Structure 1
Amino acid sequence: LGVPVNAAEAAKWYALAAEQGIPESQFQYALMLLDGRYVKKDEKGAYALMQAAAEAGNRLAQFNFAQLLVQQDPGDAGIAKAVSYYQRAAATGLADAQYAMAQVYANGVGGKPRDEVQARGLLAQAARQNYDTAQIDLAAWMIEGRGGARDLKSGFGWMKQAAEGGNVAAQNRLAKLYMGGIGTDPDPILAGAWYVVARRAGLIDPQMDDFLRGLTDDQTRQALQKANRLP
């Protein structure tokens, strides 16, 4: 009732294919059961199908099953159960899983020792796939010299890429890099412009508000003009 015929039909076919053990269908039908989308909600059934698809090698199922395990037990024990699934998905190149494993190694949780070199490598892998949160973290790590050599220029570059991709937090942090001349020449106009972009998106940073107020009238005018041309 009220469900599009094609959607209901698709759910039926996913269910049939899932019963036949087809991993992609198991994964898709598990998502439907989790959400109660076009079918009756069934978390237990979804859990079983997601695990089956994960064990069969479906990388999206591996990542999502790991997320379910952590959701069920947010503590270290839950992360420990999830790690093998995160690892398998990360090994296939799934950026979400690479980022998750970076957090595991960065914090030394889930039975894994703290390993910032490994974490930075995983952040780089995810960042290269345009995973903006990884780009921000990698930028910060490079600027701080965490998990490897300090590289201000590359750190600036990753932050700029995330900012240009539309990440508001990155836009604000890029403004601060321009303000401080970190990894680039100091540029109060671009600092102001990027902060204006972030502020228009709803981010408020008192430090950057003070910075904006300290610009000359001409600098403010130029910053606003540039902000209007930025992503």
Structure 2
Amino acid sequence: MIAARSALAAALVAASAVAQAQQPPDASDVAAPLRPAVVAYRQGDVATAERTLRSLGAPSADSEAWLGAILLDRGNKAEGLRLIQRAADAGSAEGQHRLALVFITGDAGQARDPARAVELFAKAAAQGHRRAQLNLGTLYLRGQGVQRDLIQARAWLEQAAMDGDVYATYALGRAMSESAPPVSADSTRAADLFRRAAEKGHMRAALRYGLALAEGSGVKQDLAAAQRWLIQAQQNGVPEAALALGDMAVRTPATRDKAANEKILKSAISWYQVAAGAGVPSGQFKLANAYLAGSGVARDPVQAQLWYSRAAQQGLPEAQQALGVMLLTGVAGTMDPVEAFKWLYLAERGGHPEARAVREKAGDKVADRDRKRGEALAQTFKPTFELPSDESLPRLVPVRR
């Protein structure tokens, strides 16, 4: 379960450093003179948006901020940045928010400066800018550009979620599900927030709500409902939900009906195969375990080593440990002490409790030069992640009842 939970924890953090709040299609969140341009911009018609903003007789700081954002999108970095900076200096919350986005992403030729972004988001958030409140809360939650502070994170995300924004609701749920002294997790509130976001089509919230239902965390345990939410999440681009579905099947109590038990085990393996194929490292690790043990599938050490290798390359310590042992023993037909020691060094660095003992036990059987080469390779290792890093917000999907 440790490997599964670590993979899920990684998946539950949004890929992007910052987020955009759900935006009204009628642009009712901006001043009336700006609405036609902002509507066009949000619909992807940046040419019309730019033309409309430039036609304003008396441009405001907010209009300059929007025009600057449009120019950045169109590749006119210099003028776009100049307008955004001027709007921010004039006290425009939109300008401050847009300039913060520049510093958090390193756009327009600017170096990334998360601390400066936090300052700007804070100024815009204090003026009631919902997206800035969401982004500021997210940065406090992650400790990015500022010391991690769960109290501040929750406070700002509460404000961002006041109007029912689905992304802010999900982010607040994440903040409520975590604990950091003196703040405790509130699993009941978190589950309710995940449910609300999931019902609006946020599939990562559906994953979290499904997990809460499966575990009875903050909500009454309901395995059938948990499965429904997890399947929806898996079918709509959240492969970690397949891992959770496999874990649910594995936890099903065994009965005297051997055929039924075998069917449940094969169901678990099929979900692990889906997760593994999609690039979920813990799914790959659990599928490798099944191949090594011949549990639910025919025993196949070669397949086990392949899946351990893919998970190890993504930095999963459990897989690195297992792969190191396989390469030391040659159970899959291949012995490679250099690679074995590399993976064992990495597993130890990742906190695996048995890696050092295995290395020390095998030390007398492995040449000193091979041990040193393995350690040198471990020092230069960088994980290669298979799941794409999507910088956009997750799309919302219709929810089946």
TM-score (structure 2 length as normaliser): 0.46
Q: Given the alignment, which residue of 152, 155, 158 partners 1:118? A: 152
**1:1-231 matches, cutoff 5 A:** 11-12=50-51, 14-15=53-54, 17=56, 21-36=59-74, 41-72=75-106, 75=112, 78-110=113-145, 112-146=146-180, 148-204=183-239, 205-211=242-248, 229-230=400-401
Unaligned runs of 5+ in 2: 1-44, 254-259, 264-397
Q: Following the alignment from structure 1 to structure 2, what is the Cα–Cα distance between the partners of residues 81 and 156? A: 33
Query: Residue 17 of structure 1 contacts residue 26 of structure 1 at CA under 8 Å; is this kept in 2?
Result: no
Instruction: Name the stretch that deviates more: 187-196 or 25-34.
Output: 25-34
Q: Following the alignment from structure 1 to structure 2, what is the Cα–Cα distance between the partners of residues 109 and 144? A: 16
Q: Following the alignment from structure 2 to structure 1, what is the Cα–Cα distance between the partners of residues 52 and 244? A: 55
Query: Residue 50 of structure 1 contacts residue 65 of structure 1 at CA under 8 Å; is this kept in 2?
Result: yes
Name the % identity.
26
Which one-letter code corresponds to 1:67 in the other structure? Answer: L
Q: Following the alignment from structure 2 to structure 1, what is the Cα–Cα distance between the partners of residues 227 and 47? A: 51
After superposition, the Cα gap between the structure-2 partners of 1:197 and 1:74, relative to the gap in structure 1 and judged at 3 Å, is farther
Per-residue deviation, 1:7? 8.0
Deviation string 1:110-133 (CA, Å, 9 cap, x unpaired) is: 3x4442211221122223333434
After superposition, the Cα gap between the structure-2 partners of 1:8 and 1:154, relative to the gap in structure 1 and judged at 3 Å, is closer
Q: Following the alignment from structure 2 to structure 1, what is the Cα–Cα distance between the partners of residues 200 and 135? A: 21
Which one-letter code corresponds to 1:170 in the other structure? Answer: A
Query: Residue 178 of structure 1 contacts residue 187 of structure 1 at CA under 8 Å; is this kept in 2?
Result: yes
Per-residue deviation, 1:65? 1.2
Query: Residue 90 of structure 1 contacts residue 101 of structure 1 at CA under 8 Å; is this kept in 2?
Result: yes
Deviation string 1:41-98 (CA, Å, 9 cap, x unpaired) is: 42100000011122223322221111112222565xx122222221111112223211
Q: Following the alignment from structure 2 to structure 1, what is the Cα–Cα distance between the partners of residues 46 and 158? A: 38
Q: What SS does the corresponding residue of 1:45 show, helix, strand or coil?
A: helix
Structural RMSD (CA): 3.1
After superposition, the Cα gap between the structure-2 partners of 1:195 and 1:144, relative to the gap in structure 1 and judged at 3 Å, is same
Give the number of aligned pairs.
Answer: 208
Which one-letter code corresponds to 1:33 in the other structure? Answer: L
Query: Residue 168 of structure 1 contacts residue 203 of structure 1 at CA under 8 Å; is this kept in 2?
Result: yes
Query: Residue 138 of structure 2 contacts residue 171 of structure 2 at CA under 8 Å; is this kept in 1?
Result: no
Kindly name which structure, 1 or 2, has the bigger radius of gyration based on alpha carbons: 2
After superposition, the Cα gap between the structure-2 partners of 1:185 and 1:88, relative to the gap in structure 1 and judged at 3 Å, is same
Query: Residue 99 of structure 1 contacts residue 123 of structure 1 at CA under 8 Å; is this kept in 2?
Result: yes
Indicate the structure with greater helix content. 1
After superposition, the Cα gap between the structure-2 partners of 1:81 and 1:145, relative to the gap in structure 1 and judged at 3 Å, is closer
Q: Following the alignment from structure 2 to structure 1, what is the Cα–Cα distance between the partners of residues 137 and 222? A: 32
After superposition, the Cα gap between the structure-2 partners of 1:172 and 1:34, relative to the gap in structure 1 and judged at 3 Å, is same
After superposition, the Cα gap between the structure-2 partners of 1:207 and 1:29, relative to the gap in structure 1 and judged at 3 Å, is closer
Deviation string 1:187-230 (CA, Å, 9 cap, x unpaired) is: 0111111112112213222231452685999xxxxxxxxx9842
Q: Following the alignment from structure 2 to structure 1, what is the Cα–Cα distance between the partners of residues 47 and 141? A: 43
